[in-house]
Amino acid sequence: MKVYLAGPDVFLPDAAAMAAEKKRLCALYGLEGVFPTDPRPDPAADAAPDLWYAIYLRNEAHIRACDALVANLTPFRGPSADAGTVYELGFMRALGRPVLGYSNDDADFSTRTRRFLGDAARRDAEGEWVDGEGLSLESFGLTDNLMIDGGIRAADGMLVRRAVPAAQRWSDLTGFEACLKALATRNG
Amino acid sequence: MKVYLAGPDVFLPDAAAMAAEKKRLCALYGLEGVFPTDPRPDPAADAAPDLWYAIYLRNEAHIRACDALVANLTPFRGPSADAGTVYELGFMRALGRPVLGYSNDDADFSTRTRRFLGDAARRDAEGEWVDGEGLSLESFGLTDNLMIDGGIRAADGMLVRRAVPAAQRWSDLTGFEACLKALATRNG
């Protein structure tokens, strides 16, 4: 079973080392990890004129060629997960394959959004949290926007949320490994 | 042609008025707008036990029942678009249907991310922008993470980026209408 390893890990200074470690863990559970920066599964495809678009097409081809997706949903430069990772999660869910995820921050989405907004967060006349422009906050106690938690639930996946010290949040793979274990068990 | 109206518009204090206005514009172009909070297309479906999950299932059912998606990608609480919207964009792209988007902020993703990071943004030894933890920034001059721009390009869609004063960025529908026009033209 090929597993697409979605996440902002591609932005790490030591992304290659992270790719190797995630693949090593996959192998322990009988899975084959596919990192976004791996060579295209379809090398004969026409080259895209722009580097960024070539990367897009490669990632899309990888997702289509994989049987499942495990996403690093640790909040990235704001209250939510990395946008590219979220796009890929929705993409794989639409293909009807298993999606799982982990976050190395155990605060719920509403709490993180209020921290992000600071003094701009307030309660409206009905007592609901809103931002400085009056746009409401999701306050369901979820890990992220309900489309993320919902997609994983709809796919019968697993969403692991753990408290990890800030300095280790881009390197700790405990939640990642829990997802692999769940996937391997389900896979028989 | 039914068009799913993705965006953080659902969080607006006057979301119902925005839904009505977007649908009115759709009708001008011969399109039928579907707002996320519209009643389920499949009312006979079993009710979900949790409100948030019922909302997820409703949105997913709406997307599956639509022929195209137009996303409000205006940056939302951070450098990227709203996470739920991004999930839905990836979902619809995987279904192989047209996806289009607009952003009421004309700054590119790298510029917005550097503004967000403030003094933490720096150049590494190779001259590339990185954040305070050494994670790189995408600097392709795109609207958002390359998966977003790439998905719209792969779907032969349109991505409109406009400078709109901050006070109007949640109400200005010029970019939205440009997407509708492109969709109607393409639709014949």
Model confidence pLDDT, tens digit, residues A110-148 = 999 999 999 999 999 999 999 999 999 999 999 999 999
* Torsion sign, CA atoms A135, A90, B42, A146: negative
**pLDDT value of residue A143:** 98
A116 and A94 in a common domain: no
B118 φψ region: left (φ > 0), alpha (ψ -120 to 50), beta (else): left
> Is A135 close to B170, i.e. CB distance below 8 A?
yes
Residue A177 contacts B, CB cutoff 8 Å:
no
- Candidate from A5-14, A143-152, B44-53, B79-88 with smallest mean pLDDT: B44-53
**pLDDT value of residue B44:** 66
Tell me what the mean pLDDT of segment B106-124 comes to: 97
B132 CB-contact burial (10 Å; exposed 0-12 / middle 13-18 / buried 19+): exposed
Residue B59 contacts A, CB cutoff 8 Å:
yes
pLDDT at A46 over 70: no
Phi, psi of B68 (to 5 degrees): -160, 170
**pLDDT value of residue A42:** 81
Split at pLDDT 50, 70, 90, the class of A170 is very high
Of A138, A106, A134, A132, nearest to A117 by C-alpha is A132
**pLDDT value of residue B43:** 73
Split at pLDDT 50, 70, 90, the class of A48 is confident
B103 and B118 in a common domain: no
d(CA A5, CA B148): 18
> Is A83 close to B148, i.e. CB distance below 8 A?
yes
Whether ipTM tops 0.90, in short, is yes
B92 and B157 in a common domain: yes
Greatest C-alpha distance within chain A: 59
Residue B131 contacts A, CB cutoff 8 Å:
yes
Question: The domain containing residue B128 runs over which residues?
Answer: 113-142
Model confidence pLDDT, tens digit, residues B18-32 = 999 999 999 999 999
Q: What are the distances in angstroms from CA A47 to CA A60, A106, B149? A: 14, 41, 17
B87 and B13 in a common domain: yes
The count of structural domains within chain B is: 2
pLDDT at A44 over 90: no
A89 and A180 in a common domain: yes
CA angle (B117 as vertex; B132, A131 as ends), nearest 5: 135
Tell me what the mean pLDDT of segment B99-105 comes to: 98
How many Å lie between the alpha carbon of B181 and the closest alpha carbon of chain A?
25
- Smallest Cβ distance to A84: which of B8, B130, B146? B146
A114 and A102 in a common domain: no
- Smallest Cβ distance to A78: which of B11, B52, B78? B78
User: Residue B157: how many CA atoms within 13 Å on its side-chain side?
Assistant: 28
Split at pLDDT 50, 70, 90, the class of B82 is very high
B64 and B24 in a common domain: yes
pLDDT at B41 over 90: no
A151 and A79 in a common domain: yes
Tell me what the mean pLDDT of segment B54-69 comes to: 97
- Candidate from A36-45, A129-138, B30-39, B101-110 with smallest mean pLDDT: A36-45
A70 and A47 in a common domain: yes
**pLDDT value of residue B47:** 73
> Is B138 close to A57, i.e. CB distance below 8 A?
no
Split at pLDDT 50, 70, 90, the class of A49 is confident
Phi, psi of A140 (to 5 degrees): -100, 5
CATH number of domain containing A160: 3.40.50.450
A125 and A150 in a common domain: no
B120 and B37 in a common domain: no
**pLDDT value of residue B46:** 67
Arithmetic mean of pLDDT over chain B? 96
- Smallest Cβ distance to A146: which of B13, B55, B124? B55
B134 and B54 in a common domain: no
**pLDDT value of residue A38:** 97
* Torsion sign, CA atoms A113, A114, A118, A124: positive
- β-pair type (A122-123, A129-130): antiparallel
More confident residue, A47 or B84: B84
A32 φψ region: left (φ > 0), alpha (ψ -120 to 50), beta (else): beta
**pLDDT value of residue B188:** 67
pLDDT at A58 over 70: yes
Tell me what the mean pLDDT of segment B167-173 comes to: 97
Question: What share of chain B in percent tops pLDDT 70?
Answer: 98
